[in-house]
Every structure is written in structure tokens, then in C-alpha cells.
Amino acid sequence: MNHTATEENYIKAIYHLQHTRDKVSTTLLSAEMNTRPASVTDMLKKLRSKRIVHYQRYKGFSLTESGNKTALTVIRKHRLWEYFLVNKLGFEWDEVHNVAEELEHITSSELVTRLDNFLGNPAFDPHGDPIPDNKGKIRTIKQANLAALPLKKTASVSSVKNQSSEMLDLLNHFQIGIGTRLKVNKRFDFDGSVEIKIGKLPPTIISKQVAQNVFCIV
């Protein structure tokens, strides 16, 4: 089964939407892909003929087993390349997405295997998202964001939902990165802000907005 880069992008987008939204629609997918709904319909027919999606006109669609597998290999490649770009080439995490979007479509599976080994078979990418293994298996961990974390327990930052450069800038300022150990001292009900303590730094207060985006393992 060989797919064009465009097909792979659709497959990946469907995968992500299925995992973050409870209803995936033509319009939603078209917004995700920056195309028109009509183009999505065309592509769905094509993907159906390749047994990548289940699809009945007007009735919605979803990835087949095979489609799911394809999505995971693309995501695996994307995240391995992001890891490479950040940990070997020294990019910042907010700079790597677009480049990884291109690299993920390189076809050689030998390359992926070797890259994975070269990087030391990482389980998580620089944003803390899990990297599927070569069988498509995702190593999951229980995560809680700072707005939900139990108080006074030391936890380790594992991923960040919003991966914009603005967020990176803010986290750099607070000296928070993937792996940083911290605890939540207090949560203020008024505005949902939380006071956190990192190592020997003085406690700081971060907004609810930020807290909801920073995930930890306890």
C-alpha cells in the first residue's frame, strides 16, 4: 500500500480529529486541511477505494484498520524527525513542525528504523507526545494537567498541549520544560490560577489557561 503525501496528510488529519473530537465531519476535515468540503468528498472517495476509510455518502466516515496503521506510521515518522531536529540539530520545539511535515513523507522504512536506533528509540517527542513503535503501538502514560494535579505532590512535566512559540516563550520564562520536576502548592478557585514550585526557585503563579496546557506524570 503506497500513498501520496497528500493522502497521508488526509489520513493523519482524520486520525487526529477522531482522537480529539467526538464527531468528525467533512466540513471539519476541510478546515483542518485548508481545503473546500468538495475536495474532501473527492478524497474520501479515493481513500475508500483504497480501503483506508469506511465512507458512505452523507453518513460520515472513519479510518479502517489499515488506515489507522498508516496514520500511526506517518505519526511515528513525524515525531521521530521532530526529536531529531530538536535533540540533534538544536531547533526549538516551535520551529520543527513544518519541517517534520515534509520529512514524514520520506518513504524508506529502513531509514525510519535506523533513525529510531540512532536517536536511542525515544518514546516521546520534544512536545511530550508519544512516538508509536515500529508496530504502531503507542506507549501511553497517565497524565494530568496542572489544573487537575493533586496538591503538594512532585510531578514531572511530560507534555504541552499548545505548541505555539508564544507558549514556548512563556514556559522558557518560567523555566518549565519537558522533564522539569515541580509541584502545585495551591489552586485559586477565583480565577483557576495555580501556584507552583520548581526546585529552589521561589514559587510562581501561573494562569488557568497555561495550567490547562501543561501535563505531568506524578
Partner DNA sequence: AATAATTTTTAGATTTGTCTAAATTTATTG
Partner DNA sequence: CAATAAATTTAGACAAATCTAAAAATTATT
Binding site for DNA (CB under 7 A): 4, 6-7, 25-28, 33-46, 55, 57-60
Nearer to DNA, 26 or 213 (CB): 26
Single residue of 1, 90, 135, 166 touching a copy of itself by CB under 8 A: 90
Q: Give me the least distance between CB of 155 and a copy of itself, in Å please.
A: 33
Q: Give me the least distance between CB of 83 and a copy of itself, in Å please.
A: 14
Helix (H, G, I), strand (E, B) or coil at 183: strand
By CB under 8 A, tell whether 141 contacts a copy of itself. Answer: no
Residues 46-85 that bind a copy of itself (CB under 8 A): 85
Single residue of 43, 103, 160, 210 touching a copy of itself by CB under 8 A: 103
Task: Specify the amino acid at residue 161.
Answer: K
Q: Give me the least distance between CB of 175 and a copy of itself, in Å please.
A: 25
Size of the residue set binding a copy of itself (CB under 8 A): 18
Could you give the C-alpha distances from 98 to 64, 104, 115, 215, in angstroms and in order? 27, 10, 19, 23
Q: How far apart are the first and last CA of the chain?
A: 41
What DSSP element (H or E) covers 117?
helix 109-119
Single residue of 38, 111, 151, 201 touching a copy of itself by CB under 8 A: 111
What ranges make up the beta strands (E) of the chain?
A: 53-56, 60-63, 144-145, 155-160, 181-187, 194-197, 204-206, 214-217
Q: How far is Cα 96 from Cα 73, in angstroms, rounded to an integer? A: 18
Would you give the DSSP letter of residue 102? H
Tell me which of DNA, a copy of itself, none is bound by residue 110, counting a contact when its beta carbon lies within the kind-specific cut-off of 5 to 8 angstroms: a copy of itself
